Each structure stands twice: as structure tokens, then as C-alpha cells.
Amino acid sequence: MNNGPDPRELEPDTKPGSDAPCVRWRAIQARIARAAAEAGRDLASVRLLAVSKTFGPGAVRDIAACGQAEFGENYLQEALGKQAALAGLPLVWHFIGPIQSNKTRSIAENFAWVHSVDRLKVAERLSAQRPPGLPPLQLCIEVNVSGEASKGGVAAAELPALADAVAKLPGLQLRGLMAIPAPTPDTGAQRAAFRQVRELFDGLRVRGHALDTLSMGMSADLEAAILEGATIVRVGTALFGERNYLG
């Protein structure tokens, strides 16, 4: 099964020594700062997750040199190759793509975070396969907030029962929710979708779950997400440039 493009074929179009990666990184940080200020939030309450899928180790190294430590990957085999190539850097790896049952062991063994759990079977496998010498795997449940059949995520009505079950599993720490609402250029609609996720998050906290993470917002809508409470924004295109999917 195809797990994404070969990262060696997808190095960024920047020259050695170019400051372009850090210019883009600083521009994203400035957007985050402005949105946090507008929301009346502490800037430290919002973290940038650099989504490096389809870009090779060189691109990750360039962004890491700007001060970025957390990177998100969608394709397992591509991610493992980059992790091996960059093993000397103090990076924190997040898995944010769809999770197949036969991939859970590698995810449990090689990532600090996973954002895309949407069924109990996957959580149980991650729990059983998390090596005992590692800290608990930090976990977000993905919610299908827009009801799109093409996207993963648990339905809102099924979320409380799933959260209750996941929170009991050893080797995992339930931190919060992740969502990818249907894209729209309308800021009001963006905020409405993110607000639904935040309300589900608040409901789980009332239910007794000690949650602190809302992973929502990407290149085109991170401001709306921050205004509605996002604590992690997942940015790829605005940081690395347009992706070139080959093959």
C-alpha cells in the first residue's frame, strides 16, 4: 500500500543557506501572535505544529534550524525515514494521518503524539504496543465535526463513550481533540465549526476528563481556530510551500 511519496524526491525549492524557511516560519509565528492577542490569550497557549508531509529531511532540518521542534507527519513510512535521517536533532514527532491497524505498532514505538484516533480498536492497539520504557503516548481523538464521509473522525454523539474508554487504557494519555472541518473561505463558518469542537472539548472536561489540547486550524484558517481556543495549529503549506505529490 502506498504510504506517500518518497521524501528524497520532494526536497524544498530553496538554495543552501537561504533564509526563506525562517522567513516563512517567522511569518506564521506572527500570524499566531496576532490571533492570540485578538483572542486575549497568552501566546504561550498556542503551539505551532509544522506539517512536513511530502517534504524531505532537508526541509525539516531547515525549519528546525529556525527554532521549530514539533513536526507532524501523515504517512508512516515517509515519517520513519525522516526520523532516521534526523535522529541527531531533538525533535518531537506527531502522527496526524489516518491510522491503519497494521501500522499501530510503528506509531506506538516512534511517535510522542498521535492526533487521529477515531475508534477504540486503534487506541487499544496503541496502548498494548507502546513500549514500557517510553512515556505515555499523548493522544487526541479526531472528531468529524462537518460530517464528511471522506474524512476520518468519530461522530459527536459517539465521542463521550470513546473518550471514556480511551482514558482507561494504559500507556496512553488522552489530551484532547483534533478536527479538520470542511474548508471554507468564510471566517464566520470557520469559527462556527471550531466552536463546535471546543464545545465538545468543554463537555468532556465537565464529564471529568483532564484535557488541555485542541488541535485545530491549518494554513488557511489558523486565526479562526485560535479565536475559538486552538492550542495546536497544524501548518504545512504556508510553512513549507505548495506540495508536489509525485506518482
pLDDT tens, position by position, 40-91: 999 999 999 999 999 999 999 999 999 999 999 999 999 999 999 999 999 9
Report yes or no on 3 lying in a domain.
Answer: no
pLDDT at 19 over 80: yes
Q: How many domains does the chain have?
A: 1
Report yes or no on 10 lying in a domain.
Answer: no
CATH number at residue 83: 3.20.20.10
Q: What average pLDDT does the segment 207-234 reach?
A: 98
The residue segments making up the domain with residue 226 are: 16-240
pLDDT at 181 over 60: yes
Give, as one character, the DSSP assignment of residue 74.
Answer: S
Q: Given this model, what pLDDT does residue 18 score?
A: 61
Report yes or no on 135 lying in a domain.
Answer: yes
Report yes or no on 139 lying in a domain.
Answer: yes
122-166 pLDDT, tens digit each: 999 999 999 999 999 999 999 998 777 777 899 999 999 999 999
Q: How far apart are the C-alpha atoms of 123 and 137, rounded to whole Å?
A: 10
**More confidently predicted of 19 and 232:** 232
Report yes or no on 154 lying in a domain.
Answer: yes
Report yes or no on 1 lying in a domain.
Answer: no
Q: Given this model, what pLDDT does residue 244 score?
A: 65
CA dihedral over 122, 124, 130, 135, signed as positive or negative: positive
In which band, very low, low, confident or very high, does the pLDDT at 245 lie, cut at 50, 70 and 90?
low
Report yes or no on 9 lying in a domain.
Answer: no
Q: What average pLDDT does the segment 161-189 reach?
A: 97
Report yes or no on 118 lying in a domain.
Answer: yes
Q: Given this model, what pLDDT does residue 11 score?
A: 37
In which band, very low, low, confident or very high, does the pLDDT at 5 lie, cut at 50, 70 and 90?
very low
What distance separates the 2 farthest-apart alpha carbons in the chain?
52
| Close Cβ partners of 118 (under 8 Å, ≥ 6 residues apart) | 141, 142, 143, 144, 152, 153, 154, 162
